[in-house]
Structure 1
């Protein structure tokens, strides 16, 4: 198994079906912070549901259509990043993220997402990385900006969740922008 250091005490690793119990414990602890924005958070209610969710991403990885990684801080699973979509033949993907409240403010999501962007564009040769979030999720908007993404617009009432239709912002980073980023 690989692990990538993202800070002195944090690392990014694949999140796999055999880790269902740890994933469930994390979701239960972080649920209040992530559930307002992430529909799957309310579906992970037992170990079998956690295993099914992680298995779906394992299957998607095998098909080259998605991947999921956990963020561990001092040995504790505190969040994650994923390729919600991964379309190699179209040259595009979408990154999604989540994090427990007690781990916020340490740059874990930004650094982890940057790892995924660098791999998608630099290794896999994709041209476009997307980031989608509700406009009221200020933390997610801030990460998109830190990653050098451009807000392309807002899809009005495009995200049905909990009986309401929410707006959805679309952010992106293109290969040419990635190649000329000031920190690269």
Structure 2
């Protein structure tokens, strides 16, 4: 297994795999209410079986080259993650996403982790476009998209039914040439 430092001594990015199911469930239980403000992940991961099934689904996506999931650990504790919900290698597109429990908020972990996976997707997999879809009410996630140098493509009005309400979804993206240019500028 590999671990990539996220720039401080205690934070690292690692693949989340089915054998992490118990740890993933414990993490989800710690952050369930906070994480569930904008995304349905806590509604999907509710017990050990569903935790294992969710991680197995991403192991199968990875095997098919259609998605990936990574955990963010600080001081040996799983506190969040980033993923490619979708990857279409033939078309050169991917959709990235994230989640974080409250104990890890405000440290830049998601931004740093997303940079790692976007860099990998563009430089190693030849992805041309990486999208970031986010509830218009999720200001912290929108701020991540901005810090990543993404451009707001538009709003899918009332397109996401979650917790009985329709939510607007903002679509942000970065294209490979833009990513490379911003990386070289900094």
With normalisation by structure 1, the TM-score equals 0.98
Aligned pairs, number:
184
> What CA distance in whole angstroms lies between the structure 2 residues aligned with 1:113 and 1:67?
12
> What CA distance in whole angstroms lies between the structure 2 residues aligned with 1:159 and 1:8?
38
1:1-184 maps to which residues of 2 (within 5 A)?
1-6=1-6, 7-182=8-183
Structure 1 portions without partners, runs of 5+: none
SS of match in other structure, 1:60: helix
What is the Cα deviation at residue 176 of structure 1? 1.1
> What CA distance in whole angstroms lies between the structure 2 residues aligned with 1:18 and 1:80?
16
> What CA distance in whole angstroms lies between the structure 1 residues aligned with 2:42 and 2:89?
27
What is the Cα deviation at residue 129 of structure 1? 0.4
Structure 2 portions without partners, runs of 5+: none
> What CA distance in whole angstroms lies between the structure 2 residues aligned with 1:44 and 1:125?
31
Deviations 1:22-54 (A, max 9, x none): 000000001111011111212211111100000
> What CA distance in whole angstroms lies between the structure 2 residues aligned with 1:58 and 1:127?
23
> What CA distance in whole angstroms lies between the structure 2 residues aligned with 1:91 and 1:25?
35
> What CA distance in whole angstroms lies between the structure 2 residues aligned with 1:162 and 1:77?
26
Deviations 1:82-115 (A, max 9, x none): 0001110110000010001110111100000000
> What CA distance in whole angstroms lies between the structure 2 residues aligned with 1:85 and 1:158?
18
What is the Cα deviation at residue 15 of structure 1? 0.3
With normalisation by structure 2, the TM-score equals 0.97
